Amino acid sequence: MGHYARNHNLKLILQHFAVMWVLTVVGVVFGMWLPSTIVIPLSFICIMLLFVAFFMRGVRLSNFILYLIPPLMGVMLFWITQFFIEWIGADLVLTVFICTIIIFIGLAGIGLKLERDISDWGSVLFAALFVLIVFSIVFIFFPVSNTFLLVLAGLFVLVFAVYTVFDFNMIRHNHVKEADVVWMALNLYLNFINLFTNLLEVVARYRE
């Protein structure tokens, strides 16, 4: 029975994951036409929703609110990719995107095949991510070397890679309740987005 529930939740999570990508494409299309005066407040709203969803554990957002994040992220993603296209070129951005898909699938396979339950890694991963985010914010205001930023981006890649394994392992060991299916799909979605954007930064800064 547990095996059936696990597979059922995995299917539901992947369905929501796919819908989130459809909404992201919609956001990207809108991002092509929206002026920066609108994109900036939309990006701020998206960041605030993410902060509430993942750092204010006492607040539980409805699935409708969680589903607002992918289209808003799509708008941001369009502008982010445009920035990297100007920095490293469209071909390299596409190559990194394809590599991210391959890496993500590989990490998903590891998490689903791993027999050990690694659910106790959650607090360590959360702490590591929080520290990296704080460092990122602090160094917006202080000049640092390109090498330091390269290492920081690499650490973000590492953390989100482990997070991807962790999340799929949570699904494998049936730690995801049906009420949390959308939230877990959003986790996986954001893991991919962060892997992609930080890999872009690693490649861009390595070329400098």
Tell me the pLDDT tens digit for each residue of 78-135.
Answer: 999 999 999 999 999 999 999 999 999 999 999 999 999 999 999 999 999 999 999 8
Residue 7 predicted with pLDDT over 80: no
Q: For residue 177, give the nearest of 4, 3, 7, 9 by alpha carbon.
A: 9
Domain count, the chain: 1
CA atoms of 103 and 154, how far apart (whole Å): 14
Q: What is the pTM of this model?
A: 0.93
Q: What is the CA radius of gyration of the chain?
A: 17
pLDDT score for 77: 96
Query: Could you please report the per-residue DSSP string of 135-151?
Result: HHHHTTSS---HHHHHH
- Structural domain containing residue 102: 2-207
Tell me if 79 sits within 8 A of 195, measured CB to CB.
Answer: no
Contact 28, 80 (CB under 8 A): no
